[in-house]
Structure 1
Amino acid sequence: MDWSDLERHFSSARLGRYRAACDGDESRAARAYVNNLLLAEATMPMLNDIEIALKNGVHQRLTTLYLRTDWWEAWTNNASFAWQVREVGNAKVKLQRRAEALTPDKIIAELAFGFWSSLFNVHFQSILWKDLRLVFPRCPKSQRQRHTVSSALNQIRELRNRVFHHEQLLWLTPALIDLHTKGVEVIGWLDPKLPPWLAGHDRLPATWFAVQPI
């Protein structure tokens, strides 16, 4: 397909960002768009591993803290958790629309990454951090601070949103490869056995260097 075909299907506004980054060279811009697709695909294993391992780690800690697998129900009348309670409610509505059971496992799976990263926000410092820091048993003591963990998770959350909304990944600051490195580091804080396992199916580093320079 030529450039006009691509613009017709993917919009001139979306492709215009690539053309501008490539100094108006439409051939380079078209290659950059394809490379961006390949990078998005290659980012998925890291995002998958960190999101699922994080939510399960948090679930285990909060189940222990509240002595119930539906620990979010303990927040129902607590104003500090108003947003989180709404998110749980939204998850339940989605499950009901699909005629799925409202089990803890189903609700946990339905909650987005933003829900989990929000539990490390500053206003939960005195409420949850003492327990949630145990989700990261291998995080170096000098880095096992709420603000450090929260910052890392928010970077990964923003990257995840870019990938899932099909936005450009080629010219980020920090660079995609550095965000990937941070994600792998956080995964190692959860369990040092996970990064070597991830490396066996993680194509992001190879894909990143294969598409440079654009």
Structure 2
Amino acid sequence: MNWNDLEKHFSSARLGRYRASCGGDEAKAATAYVNNMLLSEAMMPMLNVLEIALKNGIHRQLSTLYRRADWWEAWAGNPAFAWQTKEVVSAKAKLQRREETATTDKIVAELTFGFWSSLFNGSFQSVLWKDLRLVFPRCPKHQRQRHAISSALNQVRDLRNRVFHHEQLLWLTPSLLDLHTKGTEVIGWLDPKLVPWLARYDRLPASWDAFQPV
């Protein structure tokens, strides 16, 4: 496809960012756009493992803390958890629209990464952190601080959103490879055995070497 066809389907605004980053060279920009798609694909295993392992780890800890599987119900009426409660209501509504029963497992699966990362906000330092730090049993002690965990999760959340919204990944700062390394590090904090398991299926490092920014 020529450049005009690509602009027709993907918009001049989107492709213009690639052309600008490639010094106006449309052939290089078209190649960069394809490389970006392939890098997005290669990011999925790491993001999948981190998000699902994280939410299940938090779910286990909060179920123990509140002594109930639907621990979010303990927050009802508490203004400190107003946003989180709203997110739970939204998750239930989505399940209802799909005519699915709102079981605890389905609600956990439906809640967004933003919901889970928000539980490490500073406002919950005295309420949740003592228990949530146990989600990361292999995080080095000097790093197992709420602000450090929160920062790492927010970096991964921002990256996840870029991937899921098909945004540019080639010229990020920190680089995509560095952000992937940070995500893999967080997975190791959850359980180091997950890291070599993921490596068997994770093509991002090799894809990054193959698709260096042009």
User: Do the structures match in fold with TM over 0.5?
Assistant: yes
C-alpha contact 2:32 2:213 (8 A) present in aligned 1: no
Q: Where does 1:5-24 land on structure 2 (aligned, <5 Å)? A: 5-24=5-24
Q: CA deviation at 1:144?
A: 0.2
Alignment-mate amino acid for residue 48 of structure 2:
N
Aligned equivalents of 1:174, 1:84: Cα separation in 2: 29
1:129 aligns with 2:132: no
Aligned equivalents of 1:68, 1:120: Cα separation in 2: 20
Alignment-mate amino acid for residue 71 of structure 1:
W
C-alpha contact 2:18 2:29 (8 A) present in aligned 1: yes
Q: CA deviation at 1:45?
A: 0.3
Aligned equivalents of 1:192, 1:203: Cα separation in 2: 19
What's the CA shift string for 1:83-123, capped at 9, x where partnerless?
Answer: 00000000000000000001000000000100000000000
Q: CA deviation at 1:77?
A: 1.2
Q: Where does 1:72-91 land on structure 2 (aligned, <5 Å)? A: 72-91=72-91
Alignment-mate amino acid for residue 81 of structure 1:
F
Equivalent in the alignment of 2:200? 200
Aligned equivalents of 2:41, 2:66: Cα separation in 1: 38
Alignment-mate amino acid for residue 187 of structure 1:
I
Equivalent in the alignment of 2:58? 58
Runs of 5+ consecutive residues of structure 2 not aligned to the other structure: none
Alignment-mate amino acid for residue 49 of structure 2:
D
In structure 2, relative to structure 1, the CA distance for the partners of 1:171 and 1:213 (3 Å cut) is closer
Q: Where does 1:79-158 land on structure 2 (aligned, <5 Å)? A: 79-158=79-158
- Across the two proteins, how many residue pairs are aligned to each other? 214
Q: CA deviation at 1:212?
A: 1.5
**TM-score normalised to the size of structure 1?**
1.00
**TM-score normalised to the size of structure 2?**
1.00
Aligned equivalents of 1:24, 1:77: Cα separation in 2: 55
Alignment-mate amino acid for residue 182 of structure 1:
K
Alignment-mate amino acid for residue 86 of structure 1:
K
Partner SS, residue 138 of structure 1: coil
Aligned equivalents of 1:131, 1:100: Cα separation in 2: 31
Equivalent in the alignment of 1:211? 211
Aligned equivalents of 1:122, 1:114: Cα separation in 2: 15
Aligned equivalents of 1:171, 1:99: Cα separation in 2: 42
Runs of 5+ consecutive residues of structure 1 not aligned to the other structure: none
Partner SS, residue 37 of structure 1: helix
List 4+ stretches of structure 1 deviating above 6 A.
none
What's the CA shift string for 1:21-60, capped at 9, x where partnerless?
Answer: 0000000000000000000000000000000000000000
Alignment-mate amino acid for residue 101 of structure 2:
A
